[in-house]
Amino acid sequence: MDQKLSRIKYESIIKKKIKEQKSNTLSYIRLVVFILAIIPFIVYLTTKNYLYLIIALIFFFFFIILVIIHSRVIKEIKKINKYLEIISRYENRLSSKWQEEYLNQEGEYANPIIDLDIIGNNSLLKYINFTNSLGGLKKLISALSLTNYNKKTIINNQSSIKELKDKQNFILDFQYKLSNIDNIKEIDYSAIFNYFNPHFTENKKIYLISLILSIITIITAILSLFHILPIYIFLIFSLIQLAYAYFMSSRYQGEFNIIDKTAREFSYLNDIYKFISNEEFTSVSNQKLQRNIKKGQDSLDSLTKIASLNSYRLNFITYVIFNIFFSLNFLIIHRYSNLIHSKLNYLKTSISSLEEFEKLISFTTICFVKKQTSLPIISDSLEIETSNIKHPLLNENLCISNNFKCLKDINIITGSNMSGKTSFMKTIGINLVLAYNGAYVNSSYFKFPLAKIFTSINVKDDISKGISTFYGELKRIKDILDYSEKNTEPMIIFIDEIFKGTNYNDRILGAKETLKQLSSLNCIVFLTTHDFELCTLDNKIIKNYHFSEEYHRDKIVFDYKIKEGQCKTTNAKYLMKQMKIIK
Q: Is the same domain home to 355 and 397?
A: no
* DSSP three-state, residue 508: helix
Nearest alpha-carbon partner for 195 in 308, 68, 348: 348
Backbone phi, psi, residue 302, to 5°: -65, -45
Map residue 98 onto helix, strand or coil: helix
Sequence-distant (6+) residues with CB within 8 A of 473 are: 456, 459, 498, 499, 500, 501
Residue 577 has pLDDT above 70, yes or no: no
Question: Could you tell me the CA-to-CA distances from 117 to 19, 145, 234, 363, 425 in Å, in that order?
Answer: 43, 11, 73, 16, 11
Q: Does 273 share its domain with 402?
A: no
Please choose, from the candidates 392, 353, 234, 255, the residue with its C-alpha nearest in 3D space to the C-alpha of residue 310.
255
Ranges 295-309, 400-414, 441-455, 458-472: which has the least confidence: 458-472
The pLDDT-based confidence of 569 (bands split at 50, 70, 90) is low
Mean per-residue pLDDT, 168-187: 89
In a domain, 142, yes or no: no
Q: Point out which residues pair with 413 in neighbouring strands.
A: 528, 545
Q: What is the pLDDT of residue 46?
A: 87
pLDDT for res 88: 92
CA-to-CA dists, residue 28 to 22, 24, 33, 464, angstroms: 10, 6, 9, 69
335 touches 361 (CB < 8 A): no
pLDDT at residue 202 above 70? no
| Residue 434: pLDDT over 90 | yes
Beta-bridge mates of residue 412? 527, 544
Least confident interval from 26-35, 123-132, 247-256? 247-256
**What is the CATH classification number for the domain harbouring 452?**
3.40.50.300
Listing DSSP states for 56-81 in one string gives HHHHHHHHHHHHHHHHHHHHHHHHHH
Strand 523-528 relative to strand 377-379, pairing: unpaired
Instruction: Of 10-24, 30-44, 307-321, 436-450, give the range with the top mean pLDDT.
Output: 436-450
With respect to residue 54, please indicate whether it lies within any of the assigned structural domains: yes
Q: For residue 171, tell me if it sits in a domain.
A: no
Is residue 420 in some structural domain?
yes
Question: Do 314 and 403 sit in the same domain of this protein?
Answer: no
In this structure, the answer to whether residues 478 and 559 fall within a common structural domain is yes
Decide: 424 and 402 in contact? Cβ < 8 Å: yes
Q: Residue 515: which residues within 8 A CB-CB, separation 6 or more? A: 410, 525, 527, 534, 537, 539, 542
Mean pLDDT (the chain, rounded):
87
User: Is 183 a domain residue?
Assistant: no
- Residue at 26 is within a domain: yes
Q: Both 431 and 538 in a single domain? A: yes
Is pLDDT at 362 greater than 90 in this prediction?
yes
Is 99 a domain residue?
A: no
Comparison of pLDDT for 511 and 195, the residue scoring more: 511
Question: Span 461-489, mean pLDDT?
Answer: 84
Share of the chain above pLDDT 70, in %: 95
Contact (CB, 8 A) for 401 and 86: no
Mean pLDDT check: name the lowest of 302-311, 363-372, 403-412. Answer: 302-311
End residue of a domain, out of 326, 343, 362: 362
CA dist., res. 63 & res. 57, Å (int)? 10
Residue 421 CA, distance from chain mean position: 32
- Confidence (pLDDT) at 553: 67
Whether residue 533 sits in one domain with residue 493 = yes
Angstrom distance (rounded) from CA 158 to CA 432: 14
Question: Are 350 and 403 members of one domain?
Answer: no
Domain-terminating residue out of 42, 72, 92: 92
Same domain, 493 and 434: yes
How do residues 258-267 score in pLDDT, each as one tens digit? 887 777 778 8
Q: Is residue 162 classed exposed, middle or buried when 0-12, 13-18 and 19+ CB atoms within 10 A define those classes?
A: middle
* pLDDT surpasses 80 at 578: no
Q: Which residue has the higher pLDDT, 364 or 306?
A: 364
Greatest mean pLDDT among 215-229, 315-329, 426-440 lies in 426-440
Residue 533 DSSP one-character state: G
- How would DSSP label each residue in 182-250? TTGGG--HHHHGGGS-TT----HHHHHHHHHHHHHHHHHHHHHHTTSS-HHHHHHHHHHHHHHHHHHHH
Per-residue pLDDT of 293-330, as tens digits, reads 999 988 888 888 888 888 887 788 887 887 788 778 87
* Helix runs in 314-397, H state only: 316-326, 328-342, 344-362, 365-369
Does residue 24 belong to any structural domain of this protein? yes
Q: Is the same domain home to 353 and 446?
A: no
Place 525 in a pLDDT band, splitting at 50, 70 and 90: very high
Cα angle for residues 114, 118, 120 (degrees, 5° grid): 65
Is the pLDDT confidence value at 360 over 90?
Answer: yes
- In this prediction, residues 89-97 reach a mean pLDDT of 90
Does 412 score more than 90 pLDDT?
yes
Contact 526, 505 (CB under 8 A): no
Q: Which of 128, 125, 159 is nearest to 142 (CA)?
A: 125
Whether residue 376 is found in the same domain as residue 326: no
* Domain, as residue range, for 27: 3-92
Contacts of 408 (CB under 8 A, 6+ apart): 382, 383, 522, 523, 524, 541
pLDDT of residue 482: 92
Local confidence band at 22 (pLDDT 50, 70, 90 cut-offs): very high
Find the range with the poorest average confidence among 18-22, 43-47, 206-210, 527-531. Answer: 206-210
Residues 415 and 538 in one domain: yes
Q: Which helix (H) or strand (E) holds 485?
A: helix 469-486
The per-residue pLDDT for 248 is 77
Q: Which residues contact 450 (CB under 8 A, 6 or more apart)?
A: 149, 150, 151, 154, 378, 436, 489, 490
Distance CA 328, CA 248 (A): 10
Instruction: Give the pLDDT band (50/70/90) at residue 579.
Output: low
Q: Percentage of the chain surpassing pLDDT 90?
A: 47
Of 48, 65, 92, the domain-final residue: 92
Beta-strand pair 410-415/523-528: parallel
Domains of the chain: total:
3
Residues 450 and 390 in one domain: yes
Q: Judge contact between 358 and 138, C-beta under 8 A.
A: no
Residue 37's contacts (CB-CB under 8 Å, 6 or more residues apart) are 56, 59, 60, 62, 63
Q: Give me the torsion for CA of 23, 27, 28, 31, rounded to 10°.
A: 170
List the one residue out of 538, 499, 531 whose CA is nearest residue 516: 538
